[in-house]
A and B are shown apart, each in its own frame.
Chain A
Protein backbone atom coordinates (compact mmCIF):
# COMPACT_ATOMS: atom_id res chain seq x y z
CA UNK A 1 0.00 0.00 0.00
CA UNK A 2 1.46 3.35 -0.92
CA UNK A 3 1.63 6.32 1.34
CA UNK A 4 -0.89 8.06 -0.86
CA UNK A 5 -3.51 5.38 -0.63
CA UNK A 6 -2.88 5.19 3.07
CA UNK A 7 -3.27 8.89 3.56
CA UNK A 8 -6.53 10.07 4.97
CA UNK A 9 -8.48 11.76 2.19
CA UNK A 10 -8.45 15.49 2.63
CA UNK A 11 -7.26 14.95 6.14
CA UNK A 12 -4.02 16.79 6.07
CA UNK A 13 -2.91 18.29 9.28
CA UNK A 14 -2.36 21.99 8.91
CA UNK A 15 0.85 22.98 10.42
CA UNK A 16 3.02 25.93 10.95
CA UNK A 17 5.65 23.94 12.71
CA UNK A 18 9.27 24.72 12.29
CA UNK A 19 11.95 22.25 13.09
CA UNK A 20 15.42 23.60 13.19
CA UNK A 21 17.72 21.33 15.08
CA UNK A 22 18.93 23.57 17.80
CA UNK A 23 21.56 23.18 20.42
CA UNK A 24 20.51 22.27 23.92
CA UNK A 25 21.18 25.75 25.13
CA UNK A 26 18.78 27.09 22.57
CA UNK A 27 16.08 25.03 24.07
CA UNK A 28 14.59 27.68 26.18
CA UNK A 29 11.04 26.72 25.42
CA UNK A 30 9.64 24.03 23.25
CA UNK A 31 6.06 24.99 23.06
CA UNK A 32 5.68 28.46 21.77
CA UNK A 33 2.01 28.34 21.05
CA UNK A 34 1.35 32.03 21.01
CA UNK A 35 3.89 32.78 18.34
CA UNK A 36 2.29 30.46 15.87
CA UNK A 37 -1.36 30.93 16.03
CA UNK A 38 -1.95 28.25 18.54
CA UNK A 39 0.21 25.61 16.92
CA UNK A 40 3.24 24.10 18.52
CA UNK A 41 6.64 25.17 17.51
CA UNK A 42 9.27 22.63 18.13
CA UNK A 43 13.01 22.63 18.10
CA UNK A 44 14.53 19.25 18.22
CA UNK A 45 17.28 18.36 20.62
CA UNK A 46 20.74 18.23 19.22
CA UNK A 47 22.67 15.26 20.43
CA UNK A 48 26.19 15.75 19.22
CA UNK A 49 26.64 12.03 18.76
CA UNK A 50 23.38 11.65 16.91
CA UNK A 51 23.77 14.25 14.25
CA UNK A 52 21.74 15.23 11.26
CA UNK A 53 23.28 16.83 8.22
CA UNK A 54 22.97 20.54 7.49
CA UNK A 55 20.60 19.73 4.68
CA UNK A 56 18.45 17.75 7.04
CA UNK A 57 18.42 20.59 9.51
CA UNK A 58 16.36 22.56 7.06
CA UNK A 59 12.72 23.23 7.68
CA UNK A 60 10.46 20.23 7.40
CA UNK A 61 9.12 19.26 4.05
CA UNK A 62 5.59 20.36 4.78
CA UNK A 63 2.39 18.86 6.02
CA UNK A 64 2.60 15.13 6.41
CA UNK A 65 -0.61 13.25 5.82
CA UNK A 66 -1.69 11.05 8.65
CA UNK A 67 -1.58 7.40 7.81
CA UNK A 68 -4.58 5.19 8.24
CA UNK A 69 -4.64 1.89 10.02
CA UNK A 70 -7.56 0.25 11.77
CA UNK A 71 -5.95 1.06 15.12
CA UNK A 72 -5.45 4.72 14.32
CA UNK A 73 -8.96 5.05 12.92
CA UNK A 74 -10.48 3.38 15.97
CA UNK A 75 -8.53 5.64 18.29
CA UNK A 76 -9.62 8.73 16.38
CA UNK A 77 -13.22 7.56 16.41
CA UNK A 78 -12.96 7.25 20.18
CA UNK A 79 -12.16 10.93 20.41
CA UNK A 80 -8.38 10.74 20.36
CA UNK A 81 -6.12 13.55 19.23
CA UNK A 82 -3.92 13.04 16.16
CA UNK A 83 -0.26 14.00 16.15
CA UNK A 84 2.11 13.40 13.25
CA UNK A 85 5.87 13.74 13.58
CA UNK A 86 8.45 13.67 10.82
CA UNK A 87 11.25 11.32 11.83
CA UNK A 88 14.80 11.32 10.54
CA UNK A 89 16.66 8.11 9.94
CA UNK A 90 13.68 5.79 9.70
CA UNK A 91 14.69 3.37 6.97
CA UNK A 92 13.65 -0.09 8.14
CA UNK A 93 11.23 -2.11 10.19
CA UNK A 94 13.60 -2.18 13.18
CA UNK A 95 13.19 1.58 13.30
CA UNK A 96 9.43 1.22 13.23
CA UNK A 97 9.53 -1.51 15.87
CA UNK A 98 11.59 0.68 18.17
CA UNK A 99 9.24 3.64 17.85
CA UNK A 100 6.19 1.44 18.28
CA UNK A 101 7.64 -0.09 21.44
CA UNK A 102 8.65 3.20 23.02
CA UNK A 103 5.55 5.20 22.17
CA UNK A 104 3.17 2.27 22.54
CA UNK A 105 4.20 1.86 26.15
CA UNK A 106 3.03 5.37 27.04
CA UNK A 107 -0.24 5.73 28.88
CA UNK A 108 -1.15 8.77 26.81
CA UNK A 109 -0.96 6.94 23.49
CA UNK A 110 -4.02 5.18 22.17
CA UNK A 111 -2.48 4.12 18.86
CA UNK A 112 0.87 4.43 17.13
CA UNK A 113 2.06 3.65 13.63
CA UNK A 114 5.35 4.43 11.94
CA UNK A 115 4.98 4.82 8.20
CA UNK A 116 8.23 4.19 6.32
CA UNK A 117 6.80 5.69 3.14
CA UNK A 118 5.99 9.05 4.69
CA UNK A 119 8.76 8.77 7.29
CA UNK A 120 6.22 9.77 9.87
CA UNK A 121 5.35 8.77 13.37
CA UNK A 122 1.56 8.72 13.60
CA UNK A 123 0.12 9.03 17.07
CA UNK A 124 -3.39 9.21 18.39
CA UNK A 125 -3.46 10.44 21.95
CA UNK A 126 -6.15 9.29 24.28
CA UNK A 127 -8.98 11.70 24.89
CA UNK A 128 -7.96 14.08 27.64
CA UNK A 129 -4.27 13.25 27.38
CA UNK A 130 -1.37 15.10 25.84
CA UNK A 131 2.27 14.61 24.95
CA UNK A 132 4.18 17.82 24.53
CA UNK A 133 6.75 18.22 21.79
CA UNK A 134 9.70 17.88 24.12
CA UNK A 135 8.41 14.58 25.43
CA UNK A 136 7.88 13.32 21.90
CA UNK A 137 11.44 14.30 21.02
CA UNK A 138 12.83 12.60 24.10
CA UNK A 139 10.89 9.42 23.45
CA UNK A 140 12.17 9.38 19.87
CA UNK A 141 15.73 9.69 21.19
CA UNK A 142 15.07 6.74 23.49
CA UNK A 143 14.04 4.81 20.41
CA UNK A 144 17.28 5.87 18.73
CA UNK A 145 15.88 8.39 16.28
CA UNK A 146 15.35 12.07 15.80
CA UNK A 147 12.20 14.11 15.32
CA UNK A 148 12.39 16.70 12.56
CA UNK A 149 9.02 18.28 13.15
CA UNK A 150 5.79 17.76 15.02
CA UNK A 151 2.53 18.48 13.26
CA UNK A 152 -0.24 18.91 15.69
CA UNK A 153 -3.91 19.50 15.56
CA UNK A 154 -6.06 21.67 15.96
CA UNK A 155 -6.91 21.85 12.29
CA UNK A 156 -7.73 18.85 10.24
CA UNK A 157 -8.97 19.49 6.75
CA UNK A 158 -11.93 17.57 5.52
CA UNK A 159 -11.83 14.19 7.12
Chain B
Protein backbone atom coordinates (compact mmCIF):
# COMPACT_ATOMS: atom_id res chain seq x y z
CA UNK B 1 0.00 0.00 0.00
CA UNK B 2 2.63 2.45 1.10
CA UNK B 3 4.93 1.20 -1.65
CA UNK B 4 2.14 1.86 -4.16
CA UNK B 5 1.67 5.44 -2.94
CA UNK B 6 5.39 6.03 -3.02
CA UNK B 7 5.65 4.61 -6.52
CA UNK B 8 2.80 6.74 -7.82
CA UNK B 9 4.18 9.92 -6.25
CA UNK B 10 7.64 9.27 -7.59
CA UNK B 11 6.38 8.45 -11.10
CA UNK B 12 4.23 11.58 -11.27
CA UNK B 13 6.99 13.73 -9.89
CA UNK B 14 9.52 12.11 -12.21
CA UNK B 15 7.41 12.61 -15.33
CA UNK B 16 6.71 16.21 -14.34
CA UNK B 17 10.31 17.05 -13.71
CA UNK B 18 12.11 15.03 -16.38
CA UNK B 19 9.87 16.04 -19.26
CA UNK B 20 9.38 19.67 -18.31
CA UNK B 21 12.94 20.38 -17.44
CA UNK B 22 15.16 20.93 -20.41
CA UNK B 23 18.31 22.14 -18.77
CA UNK B 24 21.30 22.36 -21.01
CA UNK B 25 24.22 20.24 -19.89
CA UNK B 26 27.56 21.93 -20.42
CA UNK B 27 26.29 25.30 -21.59
CA UNK B 28 27.67 28.62 -20.44
CA UNK B 29 28.25 29.63 -16.86
CA UNK B 30 25.65 31.87 -15.27
CA UNK B 31 26.03 35.65 -14.98
CA UNK B 32 27.40 35.36 -11.46
CA UNK B 33 29.76 32.56 -12.46
CA UNK B 34 31.19 34.63 -15.31
CA UNK B 35 31.72 37.54 -12.94
CA UNK B 36 33.54 35.36 -10.45
CA UNK B 37 35.87 34.06 -13.16
CA UNK B 38 36.44 37.57 -14.45
CA UNK B 39 37.06 39.42 -11.19
CA UNK B 40 37.81 36.67 -8.69
CA UNK B 41 41.59 36.71 -8.75
CA UNK B 42 42.00 40.47 -8.82
CA UNK B 43 39.44 41.10 -6.08
CA UNK B 44 40.32 38.38 -3.61
CA UNK B 45 43.82 37.27 -4.53
CA UNK B 46 42.83 33.61 -4.38
CA UNK B 47 43.67 31.60 -7.49
CA UNK B 48 41.24 28.85 -6.55
CA UNK B 49 37.87 30.39 -7.19
CA UNK B 50 35.95 27.85 -5.13
CA UNK B 51 37.83 28.85 -2.01
CA UNK B 52 37.53 32.51 -2.98
CA UNK B 53 33.75 32.18 -3.04
CA UNK B 54 33.56 29.93 -0.01
CA UNK B 55 35.67 32.05 2.29
CA UNK B 56 35.22 35.52 0.89
CA UNK B 57 32.26 36.29 -1.36
CA UNK B 58 29.81 33.96 0.35
CA UNK B 59 31.45 33.65 3.75
CA UNK B 60 28.04 34.25 5.33
CA UNK B 61 26.86 30.90 3.97
CA UNK B 62 29.93 29.26 5.41
CA UNK B 63 29.15 30.83 8.77
CA UNK B 64 25.70 29.28 8.57
CA UNK B 65 27.23 25.94 7.67
CA UNK B 66 29.52 25.95 10.69
CA UNK B 67 26.59 26.90 12.88
CA UNK B 68 24.61 23.92 11.59
CA UNK B 69 27.59 21.74 12.41
CA UNK B 70 27.64 23.16 15.91
CA UNK B 71 23.90 22.55 16.26
CA UNK B 72 24.29 18.95 15.10
CA UNK B 73 27.00 18.30 17.69
CA UNK B 74 24.89 19.90 20.38
CA UNK B 75 21.85 17.95 19.19
CA UNK B 76 23.59 14.60 19.19
CA UNK B 77 24.86 15.38 22.67
CA UNK B 78 21.45 16.40 24.06
CA UNK B 79 19.47 13.64 22.38
CA UNK B 80 21.89 10.93 23.51
CA UNK B 81 21.83 12.33 27.02
CA UNK B 82 18.09 11.93 26.63
CA UNK B 83 15.94 11.90 29.68
CA UNK B 84 17.93 14.47 31.60
CA UNK B 85 17.05 17.22 29.12
Q: Do A and B bind each other?
A: no
Interface residues of B (CB under 8 A from A): none
